[in-house]
Every structure is written in C-alpha cells, then in structure tokens.
Amino acid sequence: MKNMFDIEKATIFAGLLICIIFIHTIAGCSSENNPPIPEFDEDRCYQLLVAQCDFGPRPPGSQAHKQLRDWMVTFLDTFADTVYLQHFSEFGYKGEILPMANIIARFNIKDDSRILLCAHWDTRPRADRDPDSTDRDKPILGGNDGASGVAVLLHLAELLYKFPPPIGVDIVLFDGEDYGVEGDLSKYLMGSKYFARNCGSYRPKFAILLDMIGDKDLRISKEYYSAMKFAPELTETVWARAKRLNLPAFVDTIERAVIDDHHSLAKIGIKIIDIIDFDYPYWHTLEDTPDKCSPESLGQIGKLMVDIIYNPPKL
C-alpha cells in the first residue's frame, strides 16, 4: 500500500505541475497579446498643467507662446515616434501677423488604424469676462481653458512611450482656438480649421477633444453637437465607459451646444466628440489659474482616456 500511495502522490503532483505550467503559459500569451494598461498619475498631470502656466499667458504672438511651443515640441519628441509642426499665420485685430503652429505627435505609426486626441494650447489674449472692467484687455493665464486638456495629453504621451498602445494614436495640440472677440467666429478655432484644410485623406476611426476639464468642481454633461450630430455612438460609448470606471464627473444629460474645435473636424467627416465642462465661473477672466483646477479632475479624464486607448471601442 505504501508504494501505491507514493505513486498516487507522484501522479497528483505531476498533474498539478502540468496545470501550473499551462496556466502560466496561457497567462504569458494573454499578457503578450493584450498590452498592460498603465495607471494615469493625476499628480504628474497637474504638474504639467502648472508647468504650462509657469510660462505666463500664452496668446498667439507673445514670447511666452513661442517658448511654450518649443518646450512642448521638445517634451513630445522624447516620447512620440514622430513630432512635427503645422505652421500657419493669421492677421490679428491690429493688422499684425500672428505666427501660429499646431503640434502633432504620433505613436505606433505603423498601425493604419488610428485615433485622434486633441486640445488647444493657446490662451485667450483678453479677459473680456472679468468682473473688473479695467482688467478686460489683459491676457488670461488659462489654467483650465488652455492648459488642462494639454496636460492630460502630455502625460498620456509619457504613458504611450512606456506602454505601447494596441492602436495608432495621434495627439494634436491646436493653436489659435481662443483668439477671436465675441461675435466674430472667423478668429476662433483657427488651428483646427487649418488642420482640417490640410490633413489630406487622414481620417481616424474617431477623435476626442478635451477642453476645460480641470475644474475642481468638474461636471461633464454630453455636448449637444457631439451627442446628437457629430458622433452619437461614440458619445454613448464614452459615457458608458465613464460609468463603468465610476467617474462621478460624468452625467448622462445633454445641456449645452458648444462651438469648439470639434466643429472643424466634423465638417470633413471625422467622428468627434467634445469633452468639456462649460460651467466654469472663471472662464475668460484673470482668475482662470491653476489653483482653480485639481489633480482629481484631471485624473478622471486621464483614466477615461487610458481606458479608451488600451481598450479601443469598435465603432
């Protein structure tokens, strides 16, 4: 009986060993086929928001605008497969020439299946909604309206370098979004309009615009044009992801119709949505500063973008 018991033990042990090896092999294959999903660091993202604001107000034509452009190109060049500029210029309201540039960073460039993530990086040259009328000709710092969406995309660039995505990703930072005076749409969205006119046959599977997403009191409802006209299916998919991720800022209502950079891309047939919190009391005032933003708000948007990149929806 002793020998029989030893044989049974040996058989059981061998079986367990084979199971362990099999499970380990399967796990290895799964890890290889499904790249690991990185953690979005909300504190790092907030640092990148502050870093932009440290240059000061960044309206087109200013020295700070040029300095930030050069800094972001150097930053992105460290992480992206390729980075290039779309240079263009427009006349300002005083007849001056405003040199501008869209910044484009591409990741996993060999993959023809691509998604586009975008934000505007310029800041408004006038605080025309400031409660103090004597300050309304001064440029804003743009902690939320300018730096927040860009900060999320810059940190995503770091993650895309460390964790190659399963799909091609293009990050585009639009210039000249917020230059115009109220009532004159010709001087708004200048960078995205230029991009749309000059992107040739480029058509990503879908695109997401991030704008004003750093507010401490973040509340993201569905933007009307995104949800009802430009990309209804994408809107529903993104909000479903936000719900699954337990992101409290996202609410399942349509409350505002916004003219933003997504209009320029939608006009050439790109499916695009605008993730924006337009209920921001410091909008277009001198109080739009980093202290009005929070790492937690940036983190909600960043976590959602990571989920979409590494588990891209099939639309």
Gyration radius of the chain's alpha carbons: 23
Distance CA 203, CA 98 (A): 28
Distance CA 79, CA 108 (A): 11
More confident residue, 314 or 123: 123
Among 7-16, 282-291, 294-303, whose mean pLDDT is lowest?
7-16
Residue 3 pLDDT > 60:
no
Q: Answer positive or negative: Cα dihedral of 37, 40, 44, 50.
A: positive
* Model pTM score: 0.90
More confident residue, 261 or 4: 261
Q: How confident is the model at residue 76 (pLDDT cuts 50, 70, 90)?
A: very high
Residue 90 pLDDT > 90:
yes
Distance CA 35, CA 305 (A): 15
* Beta strand 206-211 pairing with 168-174: unpaired
Residue 185 pLDDT > 80:
yes
For residue 87, the cross-strand partners are: 101
pLDDT digits (tens, 9 = 90+) for 33-51: 666 899 999 999 999 999 9
Mean pLDDT across the chain: 92
Residue 26 pLDDT > 80:
no
Distance CA 107, CA 195 (A): 18
Q: What pLDDT shows up at residue 33? A: 61
